[in-house]
Structure 1
Amino acid sequence: MTDTLVIAIDGPSGSGKSSVSKAVARHFNLEYLDTGAMYRALTWYCLNEKVDVEDATALVTAARTFPYVQGTSPDEEVIEVGGVDVREAIREPRISEAVSSVASNLEVRQILIDLQRRFIAEAKNGMVAEGRDITTVVAPDADARVLLTANEEVRLARRGLQLGGTQNKDQLVHQVSERDKKDSKTTSFTEAAPGVTLVDSSDLNFEETIDAVIAAVNTALGR
């Protein structure tokens, strides 16, 4: 772990953790790490290379070798696999449908957790890292740890807006609720662990949610 400021933010799908985490990173002048993008990028790589996502051994081999580049600026997203810009591709429904098979592989998770820890340790300005197991597994000794959540109805609506209205309700339920249910078998992101501050944004707008998370961080820092 680094001596610089580390903020860990977890949350379920559609909780707004990515956009909020970027804003929090800007506020504290920190770097930003979207760990979920790693799992999505690996899923894209596996599908692109015709790797069977149900083949545990093949997934581990892919995770050890996939040529991944990720930026850490909250203002400029860089996500590349083998030199290919996959920022938009990893958000496609086919990736959402397959990513849990990749993310539930424990050996794959450990490979990516090690990579995430390296990103955090090498962050010159400190880091806001967000995902599903950052507060409990990746960075349990972070300076501030927050679980950002919202009720299911709100999360479905937010994800629908994020996808530009391209998905119907059944597709959104599959991508949000069903994925959360499957992923919760390998990591806990529905309840705040001891020492983790819960921020429920169900009744908050975007700016209010940012303010609530910043307040939670400042409290954790004793400010």
Structure 2
Amino acid sequence: MSFVVAVDGPSGSGKSSTARGVADRLGFAYLDTGAMYRAVTWALLQRGVDTADAAAVAATVGEVRIDSGTDPLAPTIAADGIDVAGPIRSDEVVRHVSPVSAVPQVRTRLVDLQRRVIVGTDAPGIVVEGRDIGTVVATDAPLKVFLVADPQARAERRAAEEGGSDTAATAASLQRRDRIDSTRAASPLAKADDAVEIDSTHLSLDEVIGRIVSLVEERR
């Protein structure tokens, strides 16, 4: 089986850039599980499903087909055969993804898909990023990383990613997402007992990538 690197942490901690960088440097595949949840959310909204209605979400999620590309330099995400890499970053999807992600049937479906991608990769390893990779999706991963950063740094990074949006509003949004992710009944955001915590607040992206690459090389 390929070497699995599980990268977890809250929104804005730098998971995506870090995970892609690690995968590229090591020649590994890359899987963004957060994009899968946003793609499902987009598809449900397209169907007119009330995302606050857990029963309706649970009844419909099985109809949605999700396909995730694993090239770290050009990751792709499609829902029902449609490229949704752009649409899933919209404010509407961002507003609705937390309640969708909290529905157990959604998590069960996507965790199964994520495990299939991990097992099916032809690459020598795969870097998987999300919020429950080390605790649920890949509990036997030989390397688990929990990436954190202080709230201000996270808000500034996310605001920059979103084209310079208001930092205060972004901080409030991240706090709301943290609260939902950490308290939901199904697969809450949590640090695995055997995860290595890295605080990226005062580190450059290259420094964080370098630390994780070194950990991989130590454990391979």
For the aligned pair, the TM-score class normalised by the smaller chain equals: over 0.9
For the 8 Å contact 2:19–2:127, the answer to whether it is kept is: yes
The partner residue of 1:41 within 19, 39, 42 is 39
| Runs of 4+ off more than 6 Å | none
Give the count of matched residue pairs.
217
For the 8 Å contact 2:156–2:167, the answer to whether it is kept is: no
The one-letter code of the counterpart of 1:150 is A
Specify the alignment match of 1:142 in structure 2.
141
Specify the alignment match of 1:59 in structure 2.
57
User: 2: distance between equivalents of 1:45 and 1:171?
Assistant: 26
Percent identity for Structure 1 against Structure 2: 39
User: Mean Cα displacement is larger for which, 169-178 or 83-92?
Assistant: 169-178
Could you list the runs of 5+ residues in structure 2 that have no partner in the other structure?
Answer: none
Aligned partner of residue 156 in structure 2, secondary structure: helix
1:25-104, aligned counterparts within 5 Å? 25-104=23-102
1:87-143 deviations in Å (ceiling 9; x for gaps):
111011111111011011112111111111111111111311100000110001012
Specify the alignment match of 1:202 in structure 2.
201
Specify the alignment match of 1:217 in structure 2.
216
The one-letter code of the counterpart of 1:214 is V
Task: Tell me by how many angstroms 1:175 deviates.
Answer: 2.8
User: 1: distance between equivalents of 2:84 and 2:168?
Assistant: 26
User: 1: distance between equivalents of 2:198 and 2:189?
Assistant: 12
User: 2: distance between equivalents of 1:28 and 1:124?
Assistant: 14
Could you list the runs of 5+ residues in structure 1 that have no partner in the other structure?
Answer: none
For the 8 Å contact 1:41–1:86, the answer to whether it is kept is: yes
Task: Tell me by how many angstroms 1:66 deviates.
Answer: 0.5
TM-score, structure 1 normalization:
0.92
Task: Tell me by how many angstroms 1:14 deviates.
Answer: 0.5
User: 2: distance between equivalents of 1:109 and 1:218?
Assistant: 31
Task: Tell me by how many angstroms 1:188 deviates.
Answer: 4.3
For the 8 Å contact 1:147–1:189, the answer to whether it is kept is: no
User: 2: distance between equivalents of 1:57 and 1:178?
Assistant: 23
For the 8 Å contact 2:132–2:189, the answer to whether it is kept is: yes
Aligned partner of residue 207 in structure 2, secondary structure: helix
1:128-167, aligned counterparts within 5 Å? 128-165=127-164, 167=165
Aligned partner of residue 73 in structure 1, secondary structure: coil
User: 2: distance between equivalents of 1:173 and 1:112?
Assistant: 28
